């Protein structure tokens, strides 16, 4: 019998999707479902942040030199705990931890996947009720199954990602993830507490009228970067008029870009000689997603960002990401 279903939830989708991959073991699907569950737990906390005692600083500084917020800490603990009890994850590296964690119980150690994550992105937005997110990235480990993870498992170039995704806690909560073959968006239906497929096979527009960069640092950018930014600043009313947006949360910038097109740039400046965003936790997963959507992502020297081999877990990197046409224009200005 054929049922006429309106929407599929995340579990149903990942299980249906397995049929497209003969020989698949379902481990990656299982891992994605576990991340989805952790995201729902974080979402509940995010949504009551105003009434629970969870706004504000945790009173610590993390390895990035940033003040840790209580929600940064909550999201980090929640997702690590979920991954630790999952049988599909061998280890995790997080923006909030000094180094990676290897889960050395029998099941986890036999898993082939490791996860890298930014548990709470845009945490400066928490206290003002503006969008925040979670970013994750999945690699196949290089160390043999049955042994503890090694640093090298986590330092693979982004092109080696098996999957990547983000959760945006915005006007609605969405989970967007890419595998090597697909990019899908799910919206949380709060009435049933499930992520439901709402944005199948996402594609980023080739061109758009939105650009996003922190203009406060404009005079600190080098000349080529200023030239790239100037491409989008009309000096004559007859020129194409671009709209400038800057939310202060990479997840929100990338989500808007996926839906409406545009370019998001986070160049190097001043003391941030490699920009501010992290290669492993932020830029690699978002670049994987953007390429899967048909967009592009480059770094300084016009290098494809996904080709960069990380040398350190917490390293930072300049990024220019979004609609292919707009990234190509910026690439010419940076040459
Ligand atoms: P996080 O909250 O995970 O530390 O990341 C915040 C990042 C990023 O999401 C955002 O684009 C950027 O910091 C904003 O930095 P500026 O306000 O310095 O531009
Ligand atoms: Mn941070
Ligand atoms: Mn972040
Ligand atoms: Mn963060």
Residues within a 6 A CB radius of ligand 1: 66, 95, 118, 121-123, 214, 248-250, 276
Q: Do residues 269 and 82 make contact, with C-beta atoms less than 8 angstroms apart?
A: no
Which residues lie across from 188 on neighbouring strands?
195
Per-residue DSSP letters for 151-176? HHHH---GGG-SEEEEEEESSSEEEE
For the chain, the domains span 10-199, 210-334
Sign of the dihedral through C-alpha 104, 110, 116, 119 = negative
For domain 210-334, is the CATH number 3.40.190.80? yes
CA 1 to chain centre: 39
CA distance 274 to 272: 5
Interface confidence (ipTM) of the complex? 0.92
Q: Where are the beta strands (DSSP E) in the chain?
A: 57-61, 67-69, 91-94, 101-102, 113-121, 132-140, 163-169, 173-179, 183-189, 194-199, 210-212, 243-244, 263-266, 296-298, 319-322
CA distance 222 to 170: 33
Q: Whose CA is nearest to atom 3 of ligand 1?
A: 121
Kindly report, residue by residue over 151-170, the tens digit of the pLDDT: 999 999 999 999 999 999 99
Q: How far is the CA of 300 from the centre of ligand 1 (A)?
A: 19
CATH of domain 10-199: 3.30.540.10
List residues, by chain if needed, whose CB lies under 5 Å from ion ligand 2: 66
Confidence of residue 23 (pLDDT cuts 50, 70, 90): confident
Kindly report, residue by residue over 169-179, the tens digit of the pLDDT: 999 999 999 99
Which residues lie across from 287 on neighbouring strands?
none
Kindly report, residue by residue over 65-91, the tens digit of the pLDDT: 989 999 999 999 999 999 999 999 999
CA distance 105 to 126: 35
Q: Whose CA is nearest to atom 12 of ligand 1?
A: 248
Q: Do residues 184 and 289 make contact, with C-beta atoms less than 8 angstroms apart?
A: no
Kindly report, residue by residue over 36-61, the tens digit of the pLDDT: 999 999 999 998 866 767 778 888 99
Q: Whose CA is nearest to atom 6 of ligand 1?
A: 122
The answer for residues whose C-beta is within 8 angstroms of residue 110's C-beta and 6 or more apart is 90, 145, 146
Q: Whose CA is nearest to atom 7 of ligand 1?
A: 122
Task: Please report which ligand is nearest the Cα atom of 265.
Answer: 1
């Amino acid at each position: 019998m054929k049922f006429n279903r309106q929407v599929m939830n995340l579990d149903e989708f990942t299980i249906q999707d397995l049929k497209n991959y003969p020989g698949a073991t379902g481990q990656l699907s299982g891992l994605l479902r576990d991340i989805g569950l952790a995201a729902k737990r974080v979402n509940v906390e995010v949504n009551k942040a105003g009434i629970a005692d969870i706004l504000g600083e945790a009173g610590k500084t993390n390895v990035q030199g940033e003040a840790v917020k209580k929600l940064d800490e909550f999201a980090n603990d929640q997702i690590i705990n979920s991954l630790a009890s999952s049988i599909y994850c061998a280890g995790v590296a997080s923006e909030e931890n000094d180094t990676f964690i290897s889960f050395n119980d029998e099941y986890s150690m036999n898993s082939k996947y490791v996860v890298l994550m930014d548990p709470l992105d845009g945490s400066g937005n928490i206290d003002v009720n503006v969008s925040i997110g979670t970013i994750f990235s999945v690699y196949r480990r290089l160390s043999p199954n049955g042994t503890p993870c090694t640093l090298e498992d986590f330092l693979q170039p982004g092109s080696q990602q098996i999957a990547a995704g983000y959760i945006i806690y915005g006007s609605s909560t969405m989970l967007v993830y890419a595998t090597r073959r697909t990019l899908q968006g799910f919206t949380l239906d709060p009435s049933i507490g499930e992520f439901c497929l709402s944005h199948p096979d996402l594609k980023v527009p080739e061109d758009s009228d939105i650009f996003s960069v922190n203009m406060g640092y404009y005079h600190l950018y080098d000349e080529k970067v200023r030239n790239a930014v100037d491409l989008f600043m009309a000096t004559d009313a007859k020129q194409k008029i671009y709209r400038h947006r800057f939310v202060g949360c990479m997840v929100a910038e990338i989500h808007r870009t996926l839906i409406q097109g545009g370019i998001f740039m986070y160049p190097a400046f001043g003391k941030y000689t490699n920009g501010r965003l992290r290669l492993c936790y932020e830029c690699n997963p978002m670049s994987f997603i953007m390429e899967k959507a048909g967009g592009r992502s480059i770094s300084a020297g016009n290098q494809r960002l996904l080709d960069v081999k990380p040398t350190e877990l917490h390293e930072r990197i300049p990024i220019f990401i979004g609609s292919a046409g707009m990234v190509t224009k910026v690439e010419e200005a940076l040459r």
